[in-house]
A and B are shown apart, each in its own frame.
Chain A
Amino acid sequence: MSELQTDTRVSIMNQMPEAGVTARSALYFSQAATQPVFGPGQAQVFLWEDALRGQLVIRGDAGNTDFAKGVSSALDLALPGQLSSSVSATMALLWIAPDEWLLLCDLEQAFAIETRLRDALTGHYAVINVSGGQTQIRLAGSAAASVLQKSMPYAVSDAHFPVGKVVTTALSKTQATVRRIDSTDWELTVRRSFADYAWRWLTDASREYGLHLGQPEHNEN
């Protein structure tokens, strides 16, 4: 493991543990405590945690072409503009703010990707590993939008919230970055400490529509 690098501008850290260490996602215990209500056949809402993703916050100036080019060359993804996302087979890059993006990737790849980004970027930028600090709750099914309507003030209609859009907004009394992955498939990035609350809120809001804990069948590998 890395020694303290006193000669660097920033502290860089490969945060993958040795084999044998048990990783527990933010909702490790919450999911176990939730009773499934419906089988996948009858359910209109599917809820599951897309657990233990690699998550990097990337900060920089979108107007700086070197920065935009650096990010896209390191990730092979276009730097998404306002309220949008870029996706590849293993990654999704989400716009958070004019100078902030969230990269979702394989956890094992996070440090390699961080290194690639640092190699490609110069000047004023920052990359922060937040993999343990938030998690992705996935919400799918024909009534998923209704569950969101109960939970957040942002409009979820097709016109206001097309597939691919990313919106950071209030989720009940916490906050979530919401990405529409497909017409009935949503991803909610919530902070780790709020994840249990968000999970309980969403399972509660889903009950009337028939809730299945897990992915819809056609999504299952």
Chain B
Amino acid sequence: MRQTNRLSDGGRIDRSKPMTFSFNGNQYSGYEGDTLSSALIANGVNVIGRSFKYGRPRGIVAAGADEPNAIVQLGATEATQVPNVRATQQPLFDGLVSQPTSGWPSLKFDLLGFSGQLFGRALPPGFYYKTFMFPQAAWKFYEKHIRKAAGLGRSPTEPDVDEYDHLNQHTDVLIVGAGPAGLSAALTAARSGAHVILADEQAEMGGSLLSSRSRINGAEASQWVADTLQELAGMDNVLLLPNATVNGYHDHNFLTIHERRTDHLGDRAPENQTRQRMHRVRADWVVLATGAHERPLVYANNDLPGCMLASAVSTYIRRYAVIPGHSLVAMTTNDAGYQAAFDWQDAGRNVVALVDTRQAPTGDCVEEARRRGIRLLIGHAVIEAKGSTRVSAARVAPLSEDGQHLTGPAEKLACDTIASSGGWSPAVHLSCHTGGRPVWNDEVIGFVPGESLQRQSIAGAIAGTFDLAGCLEQGTQQGAEAARQAGYEAKPASLPTVEEPATGNAMALFCIPHEQRISRAPKQFVDFQNDVTAAAIELATREGFESIEHVKRYTALGFGTDQGKLGNINGMAIAAKSMNKTIAETGTTIFRPNYTPVTFGAIAGRHCDDLFDPERHTAMHDWHVRHGALFENVGQWKRPWYYPKPGETMQQSLDRECLATRNGVGILDASTLGKIDIQGKDAREFIGRVYTNAWAKLAVGKCRYGLMCGEDGMVFDDGVTSCLGEEHFLMTTTTGGAAHVLEWLELYHQTEWPELEVYMNTVTDHWATMTIAGPDSRKLLAELTDDIDLDKESFKFMDWRQGTVADVPARVFRISFTGELSYEINVPANYGLDVWEALFEKGERYNLTPYGTETMHILRAEKGFIIAGQDTDGSMHPYDLGLDWAVKEDKPYSFIGKRGMKREDCLRQDRKQLVGLKTKDPSIVLPEGAQAVDDPKQPVPMTMLGHVTSSYYSANLGRSIAMGVIRGGHQRSGETVYYPLSDGRVVEAEITSTLFLDPKGERQNV
């Protein structure tokens, strides 16, 4: 298709590199250097979408991040779909496929002339509030359709094929924005030797200079840009980041930059290259040179395609060599708006009129307009656009001096484009992210950043400096200041010479009056993305919303993905006026991260798939994998869950593992248990303070179970601690609690008891731990050691010995979590697999059976051993658990938890207490979490007594077993409770002891 609106020369596109792309199913062509929006304009595409609430056709308004309408869905395949992309920010590439996202039901339907009020009545101002408040059920319906219509696009149904990553940066100076101020700041700071990062959201750096008519050092401004960038690119201490939006400004000068590395290259990123990168930057000093956004003027039907920002018209003509129409009416409140008319005329098309709202404008631009013979309508304004799917005329009328009234009849000027400039709003967004409040400045006619708490300064248009010479000067100053703040000496720099038109004063005008009052006039749009009109804002203030933050929420002003870059200030001005306040009095809403939408991919980086979270492996992990283990996540550890044999169900595997262990010998990889080496003169005293039980007399060579409580008296961890030497202990913790326990011990050592001489270090990973359990475990171990006396009288239950197992130095602990004769063999992890395999070699004749965490859980439950974190939940003290024997109350030091568990509430008799549960029907396994009641016939809500904490089928007992908490349960042994389940069944269970098997503990003492 011919590019009817492409100019034959000029612009910064490369005409030798043509490209094809599609939009809404149609094929078009463009050039390298185009954005999707400039290429669409080149092809005469007027309507990009339909508006969210009123279904009105919408076209391209802006040329950058402030664009509210041209939001498209990108992607040639399902896996490369990207929603919510601004066509104005998307560089064109060959083969780009795009779809409108706000065109529902369809763009074409709309083009046929149906300018339907899809939601107009259904969504009055305050819709969100009114709907959220009542009726609640309707929201689901609305939400579905609003999303579809609101231009948010859709997420892909297939996984993203591209990769994204993060890069941490530390820099002396970060400069945000590479316009005149940012470039001159970067140059000055970099010349001092400081490390500088210069980031700009556009593909090409230079900002406004790329479409400016002003000259620097006697040449085109773009030449100065090229020279400056060349110098910066040659410096080792400078990192230039184009296509990189500084999206978030966080505490202590931490900023995130969203760099689109390959979005300009194609639908997919090239191999071995990440598509987008999130730079996580810590900067010593930040210079915000983010520029300003032009404000459109608010007039009737100002959302018709063909209504554009004046600066966008210039940008399209000068930078992209495309012209968005044939005949232009330009309206402005300031001199900057004149450029659009000049550029339009220079492009050889018709300027119908230049409408200046000021009564007596002065300055070079006014003179030039007269010289060029452009029809100049001074003291006038465009009050209304006419047309159906494109502007066909502008109605222009004379204005009163204050701009608040019309002073004469309107004239209708035929045109297809209306450019407007209401002045410039500094892009204060980033300055708000850490809490800064913008302040109104009458001279600037805009909000400028308020006092900042960060190590930061501002330069250029963000500071309200709109002339080029001023921007360059301020940039140079702030670059030098940044360097100085970062500890470098900036040499005085000479400023470039600038030729730019002298300008007159701008007029503060936001909403153009109409013959009808706001509520009756054709719609005057303020926020295009959310379809917020001037009338809606007026209505909000009439309904009593006085705070600008409330007006924002009530009307949804600035709630779109454009964050109201285009409309916010106009909206605030309208709200202020209707409340008879000044804008300064009304104030502004503030902005939060992110400045523009960020892909989830860039947020996730490489923290996805199998790099999402660390997977911790034991030294025997490879063996478990080779032997078909299924794994359970315990904390970050991968623990064998059970080892199914071919054809087995899970229960069959568990039955086999349980029976083999109780009747022969089983083996468990217990390496994941936390292990803390504790050494020092006061180690014993220290352990006595953090555990509830007695440690004073534990002899070297002995082990003891310990309970750890918080100051509230509640159990949070447990484990066996062994006395390795008079001043040396090895504490074991639960797998998931290891890191927390060590930090807990350090907390008390460092803050409460620094006088205790003790050192604690983790040795969890150093020792590979394998537990052999079962009546044959001694025989098996005997085959692998000749220097440990395994005789039951000399190596007793709860003893440990040092020696050699399978030729490897080992510590062997005769402790048991199954109630069986059991040995925990600890060897240095480098030899763990070798010892494990040696055990299997010798274990063959004993049918040595590997078992996983599930069998371990069943075997320990048969013995009523608790698992901290499963049978406890932070609300149970040792007495609740029936572990009275593990509390020694008469220790000299008031150990942690002692006082807590004596609080009045902890002494109640009706506390939830841990008991055993046997279902009346032994085949039913209670679901964990099921709640007990005394009377299953009681109407809902029933009086709940406590929940099931552990529940299994025990092959050894041939029945189900469970543990759970019951109010006052320790006094209710033998009584029956009922578990009403979600499927309607009620399970009857008897309260029992938690010791289901071998209550005297004979099996472990053989």
Contacts and interface: CB of A to CB of B under 8 A. Distances in A.
B759 A59 contact: yes
Contact of B831 (A9, A23, A128, A204): A23
Interface residues of A, number: 64
A148 to B, nearest CB: 9
Interface stretch (A72-80, A131-139, A180-188): A131-139
Nearest to A19: B807
Given A9-B728, A173-B607, A149 B830 contact: no
A11 B168 contact: no
Given A160-B170, A192-B619, A192-B829, A10 B606 contact: no
B973 interface: no
B765 A133 contact: yes
A11 B728 contact: yes
Given A126-B679, A173-B607, A200-B610, A149 B619 contact: no
Given A8-B725, A150-B167, A130 B766 contact: yes
Contacts of A193: 616-618, 637, 672, 764-765
Nearest to A125: B759
Given A126-B761, A208-B272, A197 B615 contact: yes
A132 B765 contact: yes
A70 to B, nearest CB: 15
A146 B239 CA distance: 13
B724 A191 contact: no
Interface in A17-39: 17-18, 20-26, 29
Contacts of A125: 759
A209 B663 CA distance: 57
Interface stretch (B341-349, B454-462, B798-806): B798-806
Contact of B829 (A6, A133, A160, A200): A133
A207 B272 CA distance: 6
A59 B760 CA distance: 9
Q: By CB atoms of chain A within 10 A, which of B280, B614, B828 has the most?
A: B614
Given A1-B804, A10-B724, A24-B619, A132 B830 contact: yes
B833 A126 contact: no
Interface string B598-613: 0000000011001101
A194 B672 CA distance: 12
Nearest to A124: B757
Contacts of B677: 126, 128
B854 interface: no
Given A9-B728, A11-B728, A13-B802, A196 B617 contact: yes
B767 interface: yes
A31 to B, nearest CB: 12
A57 interface: yes
Contacts of A207: 272
B interface, how many residues as a size bin? 35 or more
A201 interface: yes
B169 A149 contact: yes
Contacts of B725: 5, 8-11
Interface string B713-742: 000000000001111100000000000000
Contacts, number: 177
B764 A133 contact: yes
A88 B274 CA distance: 41
Given A24-B834, A124-B757, A160-B170, A205 B606 contact: yes
A6 B700 CA distance: 6
Contacts of A11: 724-725, 728, 802, 811
Given A133-B763, A197-B614, A204-B611, A15 B828 contact: yes
A57 B611 CA distance: 29
A6 B802 CA distance: 11
B765 A192 contact: yes
A4 B801 contact: yes
B768 interface: yes
A3 interface: yes
Contacts of B618: 193
B402 interface: no
4 nearest interchain CB pairs?
A133-B766, A132-B829, A11-B724, A155-B170
Interface of B: 165-170, 195, 272-274, 280, 282, 606-607, 610-611, 613-619, 621-622, 637, 672, 677, 679-681, 700-701, 724-728, 757, 759, 761-768, 787, 801-804, 806-809, 811, 828-834
Given A131-B766, A193-B765, 13 more contacts: A4-B701, A6-B700, A10-B679, A10-B724, A10-B725, A13-B802, A13-B811, A21-B807, A99-B759, A131-B830, A153-B282, A174-B614, A204-B611
